[in-house]
Amino acid sequence: MLREIDLDAVSDGRRYRQSDMVKAGCNDCKGCSDCCRNMGSSIVLDPYDCFELCKNLKESFEKLLSYAIELQVVDGIILPNLKMTGNEETCTFLNEQGRCSIHSFRPGFCRMFPLGRIYEEGGFQYFLQVHECKMEPKTKVKIQKWLGIPDIRRYEAFVTKWHYFLKDVEKILGSFQDEASLKNISMYLLKNFYLTPYDENRDFYIQFEERLEKARRYFL
């Protein structure tokens, strides 16, 4: 998702890597679930997020679409996001105690918060959103530990490839004018990276690379 932001206005002015310490610790969010409410369609899910959800919940992508996620157009591309429900617009996975019921396999955007990513020169770095989390006092924590994702280097390589692949697709979409072609491209992406089930017994990153290569042949 592309966002035009003034980093000086929303961050502490620094950029971080996964080995850096950052003041993001929030005492395990005790008594607070603000970031699980009123998020609209902003929690966009990448293929790894959906792989983890399907694997751990033992449900298909189609099943998740029936209650927990929804589709939206992001920068011209149809992508899934976590669904907010009820009068209070809460995440489907927020339980009655105000805790995340999928915390151990929560999506990447949720893991990062209140961090964000800034993409530059074929890679990305993290930045701290200083106005987003109200929990105080904050404690310093290593970003790698904060994210809590196994094999962080492979994960970050995946995030980078996915982001820049979508940027390439956006350029291709800009060359089409007819709605039918635009819809066909978006549906291909949805089917190739989300709807077609992944093998839970195989390494996700290998499967993603196979699908990415297939898509590059299709588009590029």
Is residue 219, in this structure, part of any structural domain at all?
Answer: no
Give a yes or no: residue 216 inside a domain.
no
In a domain, 72, yes or no: yes
Phi/psi at 125 (nearest 5 deg)? -130, 165
What range defines the domain where residue 161 resides? 7-210
Domain total of the chain:
1
Q: Tell me the pTM.
A: 0.92
Q: Residue 43: inside a domain, yes or no?
A: yes
In a domain, 220, yes or no: no
Query: What digits encode the pLDDT tens for the residues 50-103?
Result: 999 999 999 999 999 999 999 999 888 999 999 999 988 999 999 998 899 999
Asked if residue 130 is part of any domain, the answer here is: yes
- Quick check: is 215 in a domain? no
- Residue 188 is assigned to a structural domain of this protein: yes
